[in-house]
Amino acid sequence: MSCIRIVGGRKLEGEVMLQGSKNAVLPILAASVLCNGKVVIKRCPNISDVRELLQALDSAGIKSSLRDGELEVDTVNATPIFFGPEYAGKTRGGVLLLGAFLGRFGEAGMAYPGGCVIGARPIDLHCKVFRMMQAKLKESEEGVTVKGKLKGGKIKLPYPSVGATENGILAAVCAEGVSVISGAATEPEVTELCRFLRKAGAKIRGIGTSVLEITGGSRLHGVEYTLTGDRIVAGTYLGATAMTGGEILLRGTEGVCMKGIFDSFSAAGLSVSRNRDCIRLHAPGKILPIKELKTAPYPGFPTDMQSQMTAILSLAEGESKIYETVFESRFGVVPELKKMGADVQNEGRCIRIRGGNRLHGETVYATDLRTGAALVSAALAAEGESIVYGDEYIDRGYEDICKTFRLLGADISETDEK
Ligand code: UD1
Protein backbone atom coordinates (compact mmCIF):
# COMPACT_ATOMS: atom_id res chain seq x y z
CA MET A 1 0.00 0.00 0.00
CA SER A 2 1.50 3.33 -0.96
CA CYS A 3 1.61 6.36 1.29
CA ILE A 4 3.38 9.70 1.67
CA ARG A 5 6.31 10.07 4.06
CA ILE A 6 7.03 13.56 5.35
CA VAL A 7 9.64 14.88 7.72
CA GLY A 8 8.20 18.15 8.92
CA GLY A 9 9.72 21.35 10.19
CA ARG A 10 11.19 22.83 7.00
CA LYS A 11 9.98 26.21 5.78
CA LEU A 12 8.47 26.11 2.30
CA GLU A 13 10.22 28.62 0.05
CA GLY A 14 10.11 29.15 -3.69
CA GLU A 15 7.98 29.36 -6.81
CA VAL A 16 5.25 27.07 -8.10
CA MET A 17 3.38 27.06 -11.42
CA LEU A 18 -0.26 26.40 -10.57
CA GLN A 19 -2.03 23.48 -12.29
CA GLY A 20 -5.28 23.91 -14.25
CA SER A 21 -8.60 23.65 -12.45
CA LYS A 22 -10.02 20.18 -11.69
CA ASN A 23 -13.58 21.32 -11.21
CA ALA A 24 -13.47 23.22 -14.50
CA VAL A 25 -11.93 20.50 -16.64
CA LEU A 26 -14.47 17.82 -15.61
CA PRO A 27 -17.60 19.64 -16.89
CA ILE A 28 -15.67 20.88 -19.93
CA LEU A 29 -14.71 17.30 -20.76
CA ALA A 30 -18.37 16.34 -20.53
CA ALA A 31 -19.26 19.33 -22.73
CA SER A 32 -16.78 18.17 -25.38
CA VAL A 33 -19.24 15.32 -26.07
CA LEU A 34 -21.54 17.98 -27.60
CA CYS A 35 -18.90 19.37 -29.98
CA ASN A 36 -18.71 18.32 -33.61
CA GLY A 37 -14.99 18.46 -34.18
CA LYS A 38 -11.73 18.20 -32.28
CA VAL A 39 -11.56 19.68 -28.79
CA VAL A 40 -8.21 20.76 -27.36
CA ILE A 41 -8.00 21.60 -23.65
CA LYS A 42 -4.78 23.30 -22.61
CA ARG A 43 -3.32 23.32 -19.11
CA CYS A 44 -5.18 20.12 -18.33
CA PRO A 45 -4.08 18.69 -14.96
CA ASN A 46 -2.86 15.10 -15.02
CA ILE A 47 -4.90 13.89 -12.04
CA SER A 48 -6.80 10.67 -11.50
CA ASP A 49 -10.26 12.32 -11.67
CA VAL A 50 -9.43 13.37 -15.23
CA ARG A 51 -7.97 9.97 -16.13
CA GLU A 52 -11.08 8.20 -14.75
CA LEU A 53 -13.40 10.41 -16.77
CA LEU A 54 -11.32 9.83 -19.92
CA GLN A 55 -11.65 6.08 -19.38
CA ALA A 56 -15.42 6.43 -19.06
CA LEU A 57 -15.48 8.43 -22.31
CA ASP A 58 -13.26 5.84 -23.98
CA SER A 59 -15.80 3.13 -23.14
CA ALA A 60 -18.35 5.22 -25.08
CA GLY A 61 -16.09 5.42 -28.17
CA ILE A 62 -14.51 8.80 -27.39
CA LYS A 63 -10.79 8.88 -27.98
CA SER A 64 -8.43 11.24 -26.19
CA SER A 65 -4.76 11.86 -25.56
CA LEU A 66 -3.18 13.85 -22.75
CA ARG A 67 0.40 14.98 -23.32
CA ASP A 68 2.32 17.74 -21.56
CA GLY A 69 -0.85 19.34 -20.25
CA GLU A 70 -2.59 19.34 -23.62
CA LEU A 71 -5.69 17.17 -23.89
CA GLU A 72 -7.19 16.31 -27.27
CA VAL A 73 -10.65 14.81 -27.44
CA ASP A 74 -12.32 13.35 -30.51
CA THR A 75 -16.02 12.59 -30.06
CA VAL A 76 -16.91 11.64 -33.66
CA ASN A 77 -17.51 7.97 -32.83
CA ALA A 78 -19.33 8.52 -29.55
CA THR A 79 -22.18 6.12 -28.74
CA PRO A 80 -24.57 6.26 -25.81
CA ILE A 81 -23.95 3.54 -23.22
CA PHE A 82 -25.00 2.84 -19.65
CA PHE A 83 -22.02 3.89 -17.53
CA GLY A 84 -21.67 1.13 -14.94
CA PRO A 85 -20.26 1.51 -11.42
CA GLU A 86 -16.75 0.82 -12.75
CA TYR A 87 -16.92 4.32 -14.29
CA ALA A 88 -19.71 6.21 -12.55
CA GLY A 89 -18.73 5.03 -9.08
CA LYS A 90 -15.29 6.56 -9.21
CA THR A 91 -15.63 10.28 -9.77
CA ARG A 92 -18.36 12.77 -8.93
CA GLY A 93 -17.65 14.62 -12.18
CA GLY A 94 -18.97 11.56 -14.05
CA VAL A 95 -22.56 12.58 -13.28
CA LEU A 96 -22.17 15.31 -15.90
CA LEU A 97 -22.06 12.66 -18.61
CA LEU A 98 -25.82 12.33 -18.04
CA GLY A 99 -26.51 15.87 -19.28
CA ALA A 100 -23.99 15.60 -22.10
CA PHE A 101 -25.19 12.25 -23.49
CA LEU A 102 -28.84 13.16 -22.98
CA GLY A 103 -28.20 16.37 -24.92
CA ARG A 104 -26.38 14.73 -27.81
CA PHE A 105 -28.26 11.42 -28.13
CA GLY A 106 -31.56 11.97 -26.33
CA GLU A 107 -30.67 9.20 -23.89
CA ALA A 108 -28.22 8.55 -21.08
CA GLY A 109 -27.79 6.25 -18.14
CA MET A 110 -25.41 5.56 -15.32
CA ALA A 111 -24.89 3.94 -11.96
CA TYR A 112 -25.04 6.36 -9.03
CA PRO A 113 -21.96 8.59 -9.05
CA GLY A 114 -19.03 8.35 -6.67
CA GLY A 115 -16.44 10.83 -5.54
CA CYS A 116 -15.18 11.63 -2.05
CA VAL A 117 -17.09 10.37 0.98
CA ILE A 118 -18.07 13.73 2.46
CA GLY A 119 -21.86 13.42 2.60
CA ALA A 120 -24.82 11.69 1.02
CA ARG A 121 -24.40 13.54 -2.29
CA PRO A 122 -27.79 12.70 -3.84
CA ILE A 123 -28.63 13.58 -7.46
CA ASP A 124 -32.27 14.60 -6.95
CA LEU A 125 -31.63 18.16 -8.20
CA HIS A 126 -29.97 16.86 -11.37
CA CYS A 127 -33.01 14.65 -12.00
CA LYS A 128 -35.38 17.55 -11.29
CA VAL A 129 -33.61 19.68 -13.91
CA PHE A 130 -33.92 16.96 -16.57
CA ARG A 131 -37.60 16.46 -15.74
CA MET A 132 -38.23 20.19 -16.09
CA MET A 133 -36.86 19.84 -19.63
CA GLN A 134 -39.47 17.14 -20.35
CA ALA A 135 -37.07 14.18 -20.11
CA LYS A 136 -38.39 10.88 -18.75
CA LEU A 137 -36.41 9.42 -15.87
CA LYS A 138 -36.22 5.91 -14.48
CA GLU A 139 -34.46 5.24 -11.23
CA SER A 140 -33.57 1.73 -10.06
CA GLU A 141 -31.04 0.04 -7.80
CA GLU A 142 -28.58 -0.01 -10.71
CA GLY A 143 -28.77 3.69 -11.34
CA VAL A 144 -30.68 6.19 -13.40
CA THR A 145 -31.66 6.34 -17.07
CA VAL A 146 -33.00 9.43 -18.73
CA LYS A 147 -34.54 9.82 -22.19
CA GLY A 148 -36.46 12.22 -24.34
CA LYS A 149 -36.49 15.18 -26.67
CA LEU A 150 -35.47 18.09 -24.47
CA LYS A 151 -37.53 21.27 -24.35
CA GLY A 152 -36.35 24.53 -22.87
CA GLY A 153 -38.33 26.30 -20.17
CA LYS A 154 -38.04 27.92 -16.76
CA ILE A 155 -35.82 25.90 -14.44
CA LYS A 156 -35.62 27.08 -10.85
CA LEU A 157 -33.04 25.45 -8.62
CA PRO A 158 -33.98 25.40 -4.91
CA TYR A 159 -30.27 25.26 -4.00
CA PRO A 160 -27.33 26.41 -6.16
CA SER A 161 -25.89 22.94 -6.71
CA VAL A 162 -22.77 23.15 -8.85
CA GLY A 163 -23.30 19.80 -10.56
CA ALA A 164 -27.05 20.25 -11.15
CA THR A 165 -26.41 23.69 -12.67
CA GLU A 166 -23.76 22.22 -14.98
CA ASN A 167 -25.99 19.31 -16.02
CA GLY A 168 -28.77 21.82 -16.68
CA ILE A 169 -26.49 23.92 -18.89
CA LEU A 170 -25.32 20.88 -20.88
CA ALA A 171 -28.89 19.75 -21.49
CA ALA A 172 -30.21 23.25 -22.23
CA VAL A 173 -27.60 23.84 -24.94
CA CYS A 174 -29.22 20.95 -26.86
CA ALA A 175 -32.85 21.59 -25.92
CA GLU A 176 -35.43 23.09 -28.23
CA GLY A 177 -36.06 26.75 -27.42
CA VAL A 178 -34.90 28.98 -24.59
CA SER A 179 -34.09 27.75 -21.08
CA VAL A 180 -33.80 30.10 -18.13
CA ILE A 181 -31.97 28.51 -15.20
CA SER A 182 -32.47 30.60 -12.05
CA GLY A 183 -30.93 29.97 -8.65
CA ALA A 184 -27.91 28.69 -10.58
CA ALA A 185 -24.53 28.13 -8.92
CA THR A 186 -22.09 30.93 -9.74
CA GLU A 187 -18.86 29.07 -8.97
CA PRO A 188 -16.03 30.12 -11.32
CA GLU A 189 -15.98 26.58 -12.70
CA VAL A 190 -19.61 26.96 -13.88
CA THR A 191 -18.55 30.20 -15.55
CA GLU A 192 -15.67 28.38 -17.25
CA LEU A 193 -18.03 25.73 -18.59
CA CYS A 194 -20.23 28.49 -20.06
CA ARG A 195 -17.23 30.23 -21.65
CA PHE A 196 -16.09 26.98 -23.19
CA LEU A 197 -19.54 26.29 -24.61
CA ARG A 198 -19.88 29.83 -25.92
CA LYS A 199 -16.51 29.49 -27.66
CA ALA A 200 -17.87 26.31 -29.25
CA GLY A 201 -20.92 28.18 -30.57
CA ALA A 202 -23.52 27.96 -27.77
CA LYS A 203 -25.78 30.92 -27.00
CA ILE A 204 -25.60 31.67 -23.28
CA ARG A 205 -26.43 34.92 -21.51
CA GLY A 206 -25.97 35.89 -17.88
CA ILE A 207 -22.63 34.07 -17.52
CA GLY A 208 -21.30 34.48 -13.98
CA THR A 209 -24.74 35.29 -12.54
CA SER A 210 -27.40 33.12 -10.90
CA VAL A 211 -29.76 33.48 -13.89
CA LEU A 212 -28.56 31.84 -17.09
CA GLU A 213 -30.46 32.19 -20.33
CA ILE A 214 -29.57 29.52 -22.85
CA THR A 215 -30.90 29.34 -26.40
CA GLY A 216 -30.64 25.72 -27.41
CA GLY A 217 -30.15 24.03 -30.72
CA SER A 218 -26.94 25.67 -31.98
CA ARG A 219 -24.57 23.28 -33.68
CA LEU A 220 -21.39 23.24 -31.61
CA HIS A 221 -18.02 23.03 -33.31
CA GLY A 222 -14.55 21.94 -32.25
CA VAL A 223 -12.70 24.36 -30.01
CA GLU A 224 -9.40 25.06 -28.27
CA TYR A 225 -9.67 26.22 -24.66
CA THR A 226 -7.14 27.07 -21.94
CA LEU A 227 -8.18 26.35 -18.35
CA THR A 228 -7.60 28.82 -15.54
CA GLY A 229 -5.60 27.88 -12.44
CA ASP A 230 -7.13 25.71 -9.71
CA ARG A 231 -8.22 28.05 -6.91
CA ILE A 232 -8.41 25.29 -4.28
CA VAL A 233 -4.94 23.95 -5.10
CA ALA A 234 -3.73 27.56 -4.93
CA GLY A 235 -5.33 27.98 -1.48
CA THR A 236 -3.78 24.70 -0.33
CA TYR A 237 -0.22 25.66 -1.32
CA LEU A 238 -0.53 29.16 0.11
CA GLY A 239 -1.96 27.78 3.36
CA ALA A 240 0.76 25.12 3.72
CA THR A 241 3.42 27.82 3.30
CA ALA A 242 1.78 29.91 6.02
CA MET A 243 1.84 26.90 8.33
CA THR A 244 5.56 26.24 7.83
CA GLY A 245 6.60 29.88 8.12
CA GLY A 246 8.03 30.34 4.61
CA GLU A 247 7.35 32.34 1.46
CA ILE A 248 5.80 31.26 -1.84
CA LEU A 249 5.30 32.81 -5.25
CA LEU A 250 2.45 31.10 -7.01
CA ARG A 251 2.51 31.65 -10.78
CA GLY A 252 -0.31 31.18 -13.28
CA THR A 253 -3.15 32.77 -11.31
CA GLU A 254 -4.44 36.25 -10.72
CA GLY A 255 -6.54 35.01 -7.83
CA VAL A 256 -9.57 36.90 -9.13
CA CYS A 257 -12.00 34.20 -8.02
CA MET A 258 -10.40 33.64 -4.64
CA LYS A 259 -12.01 36.39 -2.55
CA GLY A 260 -13.71 33.91 -0.19
CA ILE A 261 -10.34 32.26 0.48
CA PHE A 262 -8.42 35.53 0.78
CA ASP A 263 -11.00 36.97 3.21
CA SER A 264 -10.50 33.98 5.49
CA PHE A 265 -6.71 34.24 5.11
CA SER A 266 -6.81 37.89 6.05
CA ALA A 267 -8.96 37.11 9.13
CA ALA A 268 -6.23 34.63 10.13
CA GLY A 269 -3.55 37.31 9.66
CA LEU A 270 -2.20 35.85 6.40
CA SER A 271 -1.74 38.54 3.81
CA VAL A 272 -1.23 37.84 0.14
CA SER A 273 -0.02 40.26 -2.50
CA ARG A 274 -1.26 39.88 -6.03
CA ASN A 275 0.38 40.91 -9.24
CA ARG A 276 -0.50 40.18 -12.82
CA ASP A 277 -0.54 36.40 -13.03
CA CYS A 278 0.97 35.62 -9.62
CA ILE A 279 0.24 35.56 -5.89
CA ARG A 280 2.84 35.92 -3.15
CA LEU A 281 2.43 34.89 0.46
CA HIS A 282 4.95 35.59 3.16
CA ALA A 283 4.06 33.67 6.34
CA PRO A 284 3.23 35.97 9.25
CA GLY A 285 4.92 35.77 12.68
CA LYS A 286 1.73 34.23 14.04
CA ILE A 287 -1.56 32.91 12.74
CA LEU A 288 -4.70 34.44 14.28
CA PRO A 289 -7.79 32.49 15.34
CA ILE A 290 -11.08 33.09 13.49
CA LYS A 291 -14.10 33.41 15.75
CA GLU A 292 -16.54 32.15 13.17
CA LEU A 293 -16.07 30.99 9.60
CA LYS A 294 -18.82 29.40 7.50
CA THR A 295 -18.48 27.46 4.29
CA ALA A 296 -20.92 28.68 1.63
CA PRO A 297 -21.58 28.57 -2.10
CA TYR A 298 -19.52 31.00 -4.20
CA PRO A 299 -18.53 33.75 -3.53
CA GLY A 300 -18.39 32.55 0.10
CA PHE A 301 -15.66 30.52 1.78
CA PRO A 302 -15.44 27.26 -0.23
CA THR A 303 -16.14 23.95 1.47
CA ASP A 304 -13.20 22.55 -0.52
CA MET A 305 -10.85 24.71 1.66
CA GLN A 306 -12.47 23.78 4.99
CA SER A 307 -10.16 20.88 5.88
CA GLN A 308 -7.03 22.86 4.99
CA MET A 309 -8.29 25.85 7.02
CA THR A 310 -8.93 23.58 10.01
CA ALA A 311 -5.27 22.54 9.83
CA ILE A 312 -4.10 26.16 9.48
CA LEU A 313 -6.17 27.34 12.46
CA SER A 314 -4.87 24.50 14.65
CA LEU A 315 -1.65 26.56 14.75
CA ALA A 316 -3.38 29.85 15.72
CA GLU A 317 -3.20 31.07 19.32
CA GLY A 318 -6.81 30.96 20.55
CA GLU A 319 -10.17 29.45 19.66
CA SER A 320 -11.69 29.23 16.16
CA LYS A 321 -14.95 27.81 14.88
CA ILE A 322 -15.75 26.62 11.37
CA TYR A 323 -19.32 25.75 10.35
CA GLU A 324 -19.63 23.32 7.45
CA THR A 325 -22.90 24.28 5.75
CA VAL A 326 -22.48 22.49 2.40
CA PHE A 327 -21.64 18.83 3.12
CA GLU A 328 -23.10 17.22 6.22
CA SER A 329 -20.22 14.87 7.00
CA ARG A 330 -17.07 16.55 5.79
CA PHE A 331 -15.09 16.17 9.00
CA GLY A 332 -12.52 13.48 8.14
CA VAL A 333 -9.67 15.80 9.01
CA VAL A 334 -10.71 16.18 12.67
CA PRO A 335 -9.68 12.83 14.23
CA GLU A 336 -6.45 12.72 12.24
CA LEU A 337 -5.34 16.24 13.22
CA LYS A 338 -6.13 15.29 16.82
CA LYS A 339 -3.65 12.40 16.55
CA MET A 340 -1.03 14.95 15.52
CA GLY A 341 -1.59 16.93 18.71
CA ALA A 342 -4.22 19.46 17.61
CA ASP A 343 -7.05 20.32 20.00
CA VAL A 344 -9.93 20.03 17.56
CA GLN A 345 -13.39 18.48 17.66
CA ASN A 346 -16.64 18.64 15.78
CA GLU A 347 -20.10 18.95 17.25
CA GLY A 348 -22.78 18.63 14.61
CA ARG A 349 -21.68 20.83 11.73
CA CYS A 350 -19.34 22.96 13.83
CA ILE A 351 -15.61 22.35 14.11
CA ARG A 352 -14.12 23.88 17.25
CA ILE A 353 -10.37 24.42 17.14
CA ARG A 354 -8.41 25.44 20.23
CA GLY A 355 -5.22 26.40 18.52
CA GLY A 356 -1.68 26.83 19.66
CA ASN A 357 -0.56 23.24 20.31
CA ARG A 358 2.54 22.16 18.43
CA LEU A 359 1.86 19.40 15.92
CA HIS A 360 3.96 16.24 15.96
CA GLY A 361 4.58 13.63 13.27
CA GLU A 362 2.08 10.74 13.18
CA THR A 363 0.63 8.02 10.96
CA VAL A 364 -2.64 9.42 9.64
CA TYR A 365 -5.33 8.38 7.19
CA ALA A 366 -7.06 10.51 4.57
CA THR A 367 -10.53 9.37 3.53
CA ASP A 368 -11.13 12.16 1.04
CA LEU A 369 -9.19 14.47 -1.25
CA ARG A 370 -9.09 17.68 0.82
CA THR A 371 -8.50 15.86 4.11
CA GLY A 372 -5.46 14.38 2.39
CA ALA A 373 -4.18 17.81 1.34
CA ALA A 374 -4.78 19.19 4.84
CA LEU A 375 -2.93 16.31 6.50
CA VAL A 376 0.06 16.70 4.18
CA SER A 377 0.14 20.44 5.05
CA ALA A 378 -0.07 19.67 8.77
CA ALA A 379 2.70 17.08 8.47
CA LEU A 380 4.95 19.64 6.71
CA ALA A 381 4.54 21.93 9.72
CA ALA A 382 4.80 19.19 12.36
CA GLU A 383 7.85 18.12 14.27
CA GLY A 384 9.21 14.74 13.15
CA GLU A 385 8.09 12.11 10.66
CA SER A 386 4.54 11.55 9.43
CA ILE A 387 3.07 8.91 7.18
CA VAL A 388 -0.08 9.96 5.32
CA TYR A 389 -2.17 7.13 3.91
CA GLY A 390 -4.84 7.74 1.29
CA ASP A 391 -2.55 9.27 -1.33
CA GLU A 392 -4.92 7.85 -3.98
CA TYR A 393 -7.47 10.47 -2.84
CA ILE A 394 -4.91 13.26 -3.09
CA ASP A 395 -4.05 12.11 -6.61
CA ARG A 396 -7.65 12.86 -7.61
CA GLY A 397 -7.03 16.56 -7.48
CA TYR A 398 -3.33 17.39 -7.02
CA GLU A 399 -0.86 16.88 -9.83
CA ASP A 400 2.20 15.39 -8.15
CA ILE A 401 1.83 17.02 -4.73
CA CYS A 402 5.10 15.50 -3.45
CA LYS A 403 7.11 16.93 -6.34
CA THR A 404 5.56 20.38 -5.81
CA PHE A 405 6.38 20.44 -2.10
CA ARG A 406 9.89 19.06 -2.77
CA LEU A 407 10.44 21.98 -5.16
CA LEU A 408 9.56 24.24 -2.23
CA GLY A 409 12.18 22.54 -0.06
CA ALA A 410 10.10 19.95 1.80
CA ASP A 411 11.32 16.51 2.83
CA ILE A 412 8.47 14.50 1.29
CA SER A 413 8.26 11.36 -0.83
CA GLU A 414 5.86 8.71 -2.00
CA THR A 415 6.72 5.34 -0.58
CA ASP A 416 5.46 1.75 -0.31
CA GLU A 417 6.86 1.36 3.20
CA LYS A 418 4.97 0.31 6.34
C1 UD1 B 1 -18.93 20.36 -6.68
C2 UD1 B 1 -17.44 20.17 -6.66
C3 UD1 B 1 -16.94 19.95 -5.25
C4 UD1 B 1 -17.42 21.05 -4.32
C5 UD1 B 1 -18.93 21.24 -4.44
C6 UD1 B 1 -19.44 22.45 -3.66
C7 UD1 B 1 -16.98 19.17 -8.82
C8 UD1 B 1 -16.56 17.97 -9.59
N9 UD1 B 1 -17.10 19.02 -7.50
O10 UD1 B 1 -19.52 19.14 -6.22
O11 UD1 B 1 -15.51 19.93 -5.28
O12 UD1 B 1 -17.12 20.71 -2.99
O13 UD1 B 1 -19.28 21.45 -5.83
O14 UD1 B 1 -18.78 23.60 -4.06
O15 UD1 B 1 -17.17 20.23 -9.38
N16 UD1 B 1 -27.13 18.22 -3.39
C17 UD1 B 1 -28.37 17.61 -3.26
N18 UD1 B 1 -28.96 17.11 -4.39
C19 UD1 B 1 -28.37 17.18 -5.62
C20 UD1 B 1 -27.10 17.80 -5.73
C21 UD1 B 1 -26.50 18.32 -4.60
O22 UD1 B 1 -28.91 17.53 -2.16
O23 UD1 B 1 -28.97 16.69 -6.59
C24 UD1 B 1 -26.44 18.74 -2.17
C25 UD1 B 1 -25.15 17.96 -1.89
O26 UD1 B 1 -25.42 16.76 -1.19
C27 UD1 B 1 -24.37 18.96 -1.09
C28 UD1 B 1 -24.78 20.31 -1.71
O29 UD1 B 1 -26.00 20.06 -2.40
O30 UD1 B 1 -24.75 18.91 0.27
C31 UD1 B 1 -23.75 20.87 -2.66
O32 UD1 B 1 -23.53 19.97 -3.72
P33 UD1 B 1 -23.12 20.43 -5.19
O34 UD1 B 1 -23.01 21.91 -5.24
O35 UD1 B 1 -24.02 19.75 -6.15
O36 UD1 B 1 -21.67 19.81 -5.29
P37 UD1 B 1 -21.08 18.88 -6.43
O38 UD1 B 1 -21.49 19.36 -7.76
O39 UD1 B 1 -21.29 17.45 -6.08
Residue 120 has pLDDT above 70, yes or no: no
Instruction: Indicate whether 238 and 371 sit together in one domain.
Output: yes
Domain boundary (178, 203, 225) is at 225
Instruction: Indicate whether 180 and 52 sit together in one domain.
Output: yes
Instruction: Indicate whether 241 and 186 sit together in one domain.
Output: no
Instruction: Indicate whether 147 and 260 sit together in one domain.
Output: no
Instruction: Indicate whether 215 and 333 sit together in one domain.
Output: no
The rounded Å distance from CA 121 to ligand 1 centre is 7
Give the model confidence (pLDDT) of 54-92 as tens digits: 999 999 999 999 999 999 999 999 999 999 988 876 777
Pocket test for ligand 1, best of 159, 186, 349 (most atoms within 8 A of CB): 159
Instruction: Indicate whether 9 and 86 sit together in one domain.
Output: no
Atom of ligand 1 nearest to the CA of 49: 8
The rounded Å distance from CA 303 to ligand 1 centre is 10
* pTM for the full predicted model: 0.97
The rounded Å distance from CA 402 to ligand 1 centre is 28
User: If you take atom 26 of ligand 1, which residue's CA is the nearest one?
Assistant: 121
Give the model confidence (pLDDT) of 172-197 as tens digits: 999 999 999 999 999 999 999 999 99
Q: What is the pLDDT of residue 254?
A: 86
Domain boundary (191, 225, 259) is at 225
The rounded Å distance from CA 387 to ligand 1 centre is 30
Instruction: Indicate whether 71 and 105 sit together in one domain.
Output: yes
Instruction: Indicate whether 190 and 235 sit together in one domain.
Output: no
User: If you take atom 29 of ligand 1, which residue's CA is the nearest one?
Assistant: 161
Instruction: Indicate whether 242 and 294 sit together in one domain.
Output: yes
Atom of ligand 1 nearest to the CA of 127: 23
CA dist 12 and 268 (Å) reads 19
Domain boundary (202, 225, 248) is at 225
Rounded mean pLDDT, 361-385: 97
Instruction: Indicate whether 192 and 128 sit together in one domain.
Output: yes
| Structural domain containing residue 316 | 2-19+229-416
Atom of ligand 1 nearest to the CA of 120: 26
Which band of pLDDT confidence, cut at 50, 70 and 90, is reported for residue 243?
very high
Number of independent structural domains in the chain: 2
Domain at 251, CATH number: 3.65.10.10
The rounded Å distance from CA 289 to ligand 1 centre is 28
User: If you take atom 22 of ligand 1, which residue's CA is the nearest one?
Assistant: 122
Catalytic positions, written as ranges: 116
Instruction: Indicate whether 243 and 184 sit together in one domain.
Output: no
Tell me which residues have their CB closer than 6 angstroms to ligand 1. 23, 26, 92-93, 119-126, 159, 161-164, 189, 303-304, 326-327
Instruction: Indicate whether 209 and 248 sit together in one domain.
Output: no
User: If you take atom 38 of ligand 1, which residue's CA is the nearest one?
Assistant: 163
